[in-house]
Chain A
């Protein structure tokens, strides 16, 4: 993919406009919005692990609307079939041929709600689409639209009738994040305003798909110094040799950290990544990829990762 040497858009301004737009509906969640943006710029998918009703769908909606992209929400249930999300080939009488009817996956932003409720078969269909940006139907491969962003959610408190995602599949998400409850002041304002639905409906696109692709190209060009690469590798090595972790970070995980750091640097207006970027992204990018020896939820994994970051010397 060739990118124009000079970006037609001012990266900082368009990122600010985009984030401002999203923040109109996702109030008091600057960090989550920033991480979502980073994920978008790094061509990565987001796993939101949170209780219902904190704005996961709203976030996905806001992103889709701000970009002027197609958006689909898929509510995952245990009886959901792969064809329900990918699409089916239907025999067209008039043409005497099968014709593929794309499923909801064929859109730019997909909200895969409660992904852990679907059967492993369906999950793996989704995950293949996520990693390859392609789907296979009856020996034919169809390319998904670009950009393609999956926001998957799972409810950490419910285990009844769920199929937790295995580590290999979790690895396909660039980062995992929690929205959490909004700060009291913002929650209060939300209540008084009577919800955000009205605002959400009014949201106008502030960034075109072409702009986004340009920004993604810029992010991929961000300089990562060799010192910093060594630092990331040292961090990965720490997770692999940590006594608290059963499974460390994979090479793909390290790659994700690299790409996410590039994207974060871009959102901060730099054309080079710094150790701060890596430290800020370590928990969101790495926590869902490791498994704890003693068991525990994502929060526990985050704490372990944070601990490792705090024990590792930054290159000076």
Chain B
């Protein structure tokens, strides 16, 4: 068919543009889109070179069939049961395969339809009005290309082979696209109000970690945390205003459990609904805040709101928060997107606490056997209450071993088997056993789940808390101090604050990018816009009034609440930060420079390249092309052997010698002529060879 090269290039361009909004909606991860773009770029390169061998239909069907298992894997594991992502990924693959296997005219129209549906999908999942801008741009571009497409059809119908305006404005199109996006779409994105449509799965859910099968959830059995101890998925990220606080062994309390049911725990009943004070603050504990921490919670399948154990106030844009009897905060529904909240923390003050009710379940002795009562008494020994509890804690932590290996444990009473038979388990066994042992001695105790420690990201100094940081420990009531934290798990089994090492730098860099993307694109919302507006107004005011910059407001953490004997701990990330940024940027810069160099050096279609290709094609057709064969002789000799291609070959050679030895720069239409001649020549060579 005529103009095959042109049409392929046009379809390639549309395919490049169609899925662009998908990563912005978190429907598609960027790496997948990059892969797709690489594939299309390869396709366009081949098309521009005038390639004539494409995938055969049976190969296309084979590839399609081969994708099906991956689709199911994608649907069940990677996509976590959601349909949108896997279907769109399958669509991208299908478009790629279709592009590479286009032969007849019908195939091209089918590819066009597929690209259009992909575009519709990327529009339907849009979350932001700036996407409308893209919609207009894409439609204008598509319209232009379609008109060209139809035009080529008409002129081809008249037997025209040589298009006058052969070159597609690809480079200009991409450049203009980038520039206009930066000029228009970014401000629109930053300033226009965000909209959510019912079709959208939710902001942040694409890169978030809603994991049905595994992960921190409300369902707490004795094994639920042990199961996720190997998971590297991010549960939440937090950043302290006072960076020194990062290094400390922070505990985030997610939920408390009172009722043991033989194998699993039931959550403490809700105590009260939190009411916002002066607009935005939710106060949990009376007293002034000392420091603040920002938390970005990934969507977990849990209603718990993890909070530092020394939380005083929470600032969160969410309604219907409830406090359980154990002091943990719960949401009405598990969030479906990244949730950002700000927490005020302060060192707990020791004070005589109110004695818990006798019927609040913290003395419930379900699951306690006689042997356990004896064991508890033996372990706790004598002394005041606190030292007896410490004895029990130490006993469990030192005499029992931590394990995640539970092969062959099918017993009826797992805790008793843990205490008397196996003497090993993971944190939930230790904590549950300690709760029951304390209760057997009349001490109010409950199970706490949450997160301990995390990994400090050296790039920005925030802490990444992963599923593997999930932990269970114990709260016991001391009459003079209130509820205190105890952790009977051996030190080896406790999740710890990890220091960054060279190996983890790459993962940290990646996490940094993901965090930024989550923070400034996916969860970029109304409050950010307000802040931006505020900053802009401030900038505007300062520009016009020419006032000096106001003195920096002391932040809450900078208030003189520091205790002189505890100097701020050195930030663990600072040593890395000095050279990490250049290190991280260097490959990017090198890549960019390389790309630019490649782009500049990349020879456009030239008669010389066509001639080289002709030589290869001749070799393939069984015509030996000696190194010493000069162009005109080649044209004459090959023309004799392949009369069908003689004219086209002569044309290529003529242009080649003019370009290569005559020093001429060929015009666009001459290059088009060369391309067409190359196609004709190759066809002739193949039919006669």
Contacts and interface: CB of A to CB of B under 8 A. Distances in A.
A81 to B, nearest CB: 47
Describe A's contact surface by its main secondary structure: mixed
Nearest to A231: B630
A314 B663 contact: no
B633 A276 contact: yes
Nearest to B615: A316
B628 A312 contact: yes
A279 interface: yes
B631 to A, nearest CB: 6
Contact of A276 (B611, B630, B660, B663): B630
A276 B631 contact: yes
A27 interface: no
A42 B62 CA distance: 65
A270 B615 contact: no
Contacts of B663: 223, 225, 272
A274 B626 contact: no
Contacts of A274: 630-632, 657, 661
B290 interface: no
B588 to A, nearest CB: 37
B578 interface: no
Given A316-B608, A316-B611, A316-B615, A275 B662 contact: no
Nearest to B626: A310
Contact of B628 (A223, A273, A311): A311
Contacts of A313: 627-628
Contacts of B83: none
Contacts of B658: 272
Interface in A269-316: 270-276, 278-279, 309-314, 316
B120 interface: no
Contacts of A273: 661
Nearest to A313: B627
Contacts of B630: 274-276, 278-279, 314
B612 to A, nearest CB: 6
B631 A275 contact: yes
B629 to A, nearest CB: 7
B560 to A, nearest CB: 78
A89 to B, nearest CB: 51
Interface string A251-273: 00000000000000000001111
A31 to B, nearest CB: 15
A228 interface: yes
Interface string B617-640: 000000000111111110000000
Interface in B631-662: 631-633, 657-658, 660-662
A303 B57 CA distance: 54
B661 A228 contact: yes
A274 B636 CA distance: 14
Contact of B661 (A223, A279, A310, A311): A223
Given A227-B660, A227-B661, A316-B608, A276 B626 contact: no
Contacts of B627: 312-314
A275 B662 CA distance: 12
Contacts of B611: 316
Nearest to A308: B628
Interface string A210-231: 0000000000000101011000
Interface residues of A, number: 20
Interface string A225-249: 1011000000000000000000000
A227 B661 CA distance: 8
B330 to A, nearest CB: 75
A302 to B, nearest CB: 16
A57 to B, nearest CB: 33
A147 to B, nearest CB: 28
Q: Which of B615, B629, B660, B661 has the most CB of A within 10 A?
A: B661
Interface string B654-689: 000110111100000000000000000000000000
Contacts of B631: 274-276, 314
Contact of A272 (B612, B628, B629, B657): B657
A12 to B, nearest CB: 16
Nearest to B636: A276
A314 B661 contact: no
B617 to A, nearest CB: 14
Contacts of B657: 270, 272, 274
Contacts of A223: 661-663
B666 to A, nearest CB: 14
A279 B628 CA distance: 9
B634 to A, nearest CB: 9
A221 to B, nearest CB: 13
A274 B627 CA distance: 15
A312 B626 CA distance: 10
Given A272-B661, A274-B657, A279-B633, A310 B615 contact: no
A223 B663 CA distance: 8
Contact of B662 (A270, A279, A311, A312): A270
Contacts of A316: 608, 611-612, 615, 660
Contacts of B612: 316
Contacts of A271: 662
A313 B663 CA distance: 21
Nearest to B611: A316
Contacts of A272: 657-658, 661-663
A271 to B, nearest CB: 7
A80 to B, nearest CB: 43
A152 B630 CA distance: 31
Nearest to A278: B630
Nearest to A228: B661
Contacts of A279: 628, 630, 633
A300 B598 CA distance: 50
B676 to A, nearest CB: 21
A274 B663 CA distance: 11
Q: Which of A223, A311, A313, A314 has the most CB of B within 10 A?
A: A314
Q: Which of A270, A275, A310, A313 has the most CB of B within 10 A?
A: A275
B299 to A, nearest CB: 60
Contacts of A275: 630-631, 661
A275 B608 CA distance: 14
Nearest to B664: A272
B628 A314 contact: yes
Q: Which of B626, B627, B662 has the most CB of A within 10 A?
A: B662
A309 B611 CA distance: 21
Nearest to A310: B628
Given A228-B661, A278-B630, 13 more contacts: A223-B663, A225-B662, A227-B660, A270-B657, A271-B662, A272-B658, A272-B662, A272-B663, A275-B661, A312-B628, A313-B628, A314-B628, A316-B612
28 contacts: A223-B662, A223-B663, A225-B662, A227-B661, A228-B661, A270-B662, A272-B657, A274-B630, A274-B631, A274-B657, A274-B661, A275-B630, A275-B631, A275-B661, A276-B631, A276-B632, A276-B633, A278-B630, A279-B630, A279-B633, A310-B626, A312-B627, A313-B627, A313-B628, A314-B628, A314-B631, A316-B608, A316-B611
Q: Which 4 A-B pairs have the closest CB atoms?
A: A313-B627, A272-B662, A275-B630, A276-B632
